[in-house]
């Protein structure tokens, strides 16, 4: 397997070009620079205005890719690599297969967004789940959405205050129902898992005070997606977008919550000594192989095969023999203040 380059970025967030956003792109890009992000994938509602205004491209060491969120009442969909926006009525239900097909027709790739979003009645946040699982033709789905996860913690006023000031300590990681569905879908077709931020930096009034939820400088520490590319980025807007979107489409990606510790250096491969495959790859099993996980720091490593726990170990390295085909993926939990907290979730290696 060729050398892979690990780039850290954020997928799904909103700027002032969304009806429910308010932050100028210049401030968002500066927040990304302060967080050392390699790429941003913007998804304003029903518009590619940020591209028309000239924001797409390199800003120092951060590449901004302009996509959109197709957002009818339910079945939200993230689209990238399209030249024209796809507009739907955001107060009405729409046929999701139609806009999935339109994204593909336009040469783009799409991802089912926050599929199990529940909202929170206490703070009048509507629920926006994905309802139609008969659809086909999508590249992947969000498996861990920061805002969905964080909103689940809002059970009372005191807990909401704690959650606001210390969001990393209340995150639970991907929902079990989401992971189970993802594992099931991967049995039939490759479904790439991505992390979503879905941040708007909205202002909410609480106890008569205004709270920003969340400033991008803070929000960018959560819900990151790492992309592994075979070629380094070369500061060419068109080429680098193609490189990153190809890695994303192929599932060479892992999701990380990096408030406590960076995840770069994470590695997950299956090898038989002469061949090696990583996330998003297929591996042809014709003799015994070894699954190997390496971490940049000590954690609880869980290997999942076809939706079931295959092995678990605490440390920086885990190796186990592979003798059967299956869809293998990795979860890692980081111990902070005596509790294991969600850290890294990989895309699978498809052992055939």
Specify the 3-state DSSP secondary structure of 239.
helix
Confidence (pLDDT) at 32: 98
Contacts of 26 (CB under 8 A, 6+ apart): none
Number of domains in the chain: 2
Q: Please indicate, yes or no, if residue 332 is contained in any of the structural domains.
A: yes
Q: In whole angstroms, what is the distance from residue 102 CA to residue 86 CA?
A: 8
The answer on 182 and 87 residing in a single domain is yes
Residues near 121 by beta carbon (within 8 Å), at least 6 away in sequence: none
Among candidate residues 291, 299, 274, 292, the one with its CA nearest the CA of residue 326: 291
What is 104-164 written as a DSSP string? HHTT-EEEE-STT---BGGGTBPP-----TT-----EEEEEEHHHHHHTT-SSHHHHHHHH
What DSSP letter does each residue of 148-196 carry, written as one string?
HHHHTT-SSHHHHHHHHH-GGGT---S-HHHHHHHHHHTTTS--EEEEE
Coil, strand or helix at 330: strand
User: Which CATH number does the domain housing residue 60 bear?
Assistant: 3.20.20.140
Q: With DSSP H G I counted as helix, E B as strand and the rest as coil, what are the percentages for the chain, rounded to 5?
A: 20, 40, 40
Does residue 290 share a domain with residue 170? no
Q: What is the CATH number of the domain that holds 299?
A: 2.60.40.10
pLDDT reported for residue 20: 87
Q: Is residue 262 part of a domain?
A: no
At residue 27, φ and ψ (nearest 5 deg) are -70, -40
Q: Does a structural domain hold residue 52?
A: yes
Q: Parallel, antiparallel, or unpaired for β 39-45 and 5-11? A: parallel
Instruction: Confirm if 248 and 279 have CB atoms less than 8 A apart.
Output: no
> Would you state the pLDDT for residue 263?
98
Q: What is the pLDDT of residue 167?
A: 95
Enter the DSSP assignment of 347: P
Q: For tokens 């061949």, name the residue.
A: 275
Domain boundary pick from 236, 256, 276:
256
Q: Pick the last residue of a domain from 256, 285, 309.
A: 256
Residues 286 and 247 in one domain: no
pTM over 0.85: yes
Residues 250 and 272 placed together within one structural domain of the fold: no
CA-closest candidate to residue 6, choices 278, 239, 196? 278
Instruction: Answer yes or no: is 169 within a domain.
Output: yes
Domain boundary among 229, 256, 283: 256
Q: Are residues 73 and 122 in the same domain?
A: yes
- Angle, CA of 341, 247 and 288, to the nearest 5°: 75
Q: Same structural domain for residues 239 and 343? A: no
In a domain, 178, yes or no: yes
> Quick check: is 291 in a domain?
yes
Please tell me the distance from the alpha carbon of residue 269 to that of residue 215, in angstroms, as a whole number. Answer: 36
Domain assignment present for 261: no
Residue 54 CB-density burial (10 A; 0-12 exposed, 13-18 middle, 19+ buried): exposed
If asked whether residues 71 and 182 sit together in one domain, one would say: yes
Contact 11, 195 (CB under 8 A): yes
Is residue 158 assigned to a domain?
yes
Burial degree of 305 (CB within 10 A; 0-12, 13-18, 19+): buried
Q: Are residues 142 and 13 in the same domain?
A: yes
Same domain, 45 and 192: yes
For residues 204 and 178, state if they share a domain: yes
Domain span including residue 128:
5-256
Question: What whole-number distance in Å separates Cα of residue 24 and Cα of residue 159?
Answer: 31
Same domain, 122 and 93: yes
Structure confidence at residue 236 (pLDDT)? 97
Helix (H) or strand (E) holding 102: helix 96-105
Each residue's pLDDT tens digit in the chain (352 positions)? Answer: 778 999 999 999 999 999 888 999 999 999 999 999 999 999 999 999 999 999 999 999 999 999 999 999 999 999 999 999 999 988 888 899 999 999 999 999 999 999 999 877 766 778 899 999 999 999 999 999 999 999 988 888 888 889 999 999 999 999 999 999 999 999 999 999 999 999 999 877 776 778 888 999 999 999 999 999 999 999 999 999 999 999 999 999 999 999 999 999 999 999 998 899 999 999 999 989 999 999 999 999 999 999 999 999 999 999 999 999 999 999 999 999 999 999 999 999 999 9
Q: Are residues 193 and 72 in the same domain?
A: yes
């Amino acid at each position: 397997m060729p050398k892979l380059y690990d780039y850290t970025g954020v997928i799904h967030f909103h700027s002032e070009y969304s009806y429910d956003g308010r932050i100028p792109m210049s401030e968002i890009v500066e927040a990304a620079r302060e967080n050392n992000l390699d790429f941003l994938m913007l998804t304003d509602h029903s518009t590619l205005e940020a591209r028309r205004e000239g924001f797409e491209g390199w800003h120092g060491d951060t590449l901004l890719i302009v996509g959109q969120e197709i957002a009818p009442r339910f079945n939200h969909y993230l689209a990238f690599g399209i030249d024209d926006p796809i507009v739907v009525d955001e107060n009405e239900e729409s046929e999701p297969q139609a806009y999935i097909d339109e994204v593909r027709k336009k040469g783009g790739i799409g991802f089912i967004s926050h599929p199990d979003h529940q909202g929170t009645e206490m703070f009048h946040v509507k629920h926006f789940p994905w309802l139609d699982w008969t659809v086909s033709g999508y590249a992947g789905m969000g498996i861990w959405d920061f805002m969905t996860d964080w909103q689940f913690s809002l059970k009372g006023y005191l807990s909401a205050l704690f959650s606001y000031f210390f969001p990393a300590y209340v995150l639970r990681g991907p929902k079990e129902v989401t992971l189970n569905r993802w594992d099931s879908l991967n049995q039939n077709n490759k479904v790439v898992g991505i992390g979503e931020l879905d941040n708007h930096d909205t202002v909410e009034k609480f106890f008569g005070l205004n709270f920003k939820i969340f400033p991008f400088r803070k929000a960018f520490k959560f819900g990151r997606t790492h992309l592994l590319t075979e070629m380094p980025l070369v500061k060419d807007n068109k080429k680098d977008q193609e490189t990153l979107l190809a890695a994303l489409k192929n599932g060479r990606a892992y999701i990380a919550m990096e408030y406590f510790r960076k995840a770069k250096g994470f590695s997950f491969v299956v090898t038989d000594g002469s061949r090696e495959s990583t996330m998003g790859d297929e591996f042809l099993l014709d003799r015994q192989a070894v699954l190997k996980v390496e971490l940049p720091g000590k954690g609880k490593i869980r290997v999942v095969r076809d939706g079931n726990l295959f092995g678990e170990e605490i440390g920086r390295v885990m190796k186990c023999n592979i003798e059967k085909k299956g869809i293998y993926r990795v979860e890692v939990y980081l111990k902070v203040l005596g509790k294991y907290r969600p850290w890294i979730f990989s895309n699978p290696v498809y052992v055939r």
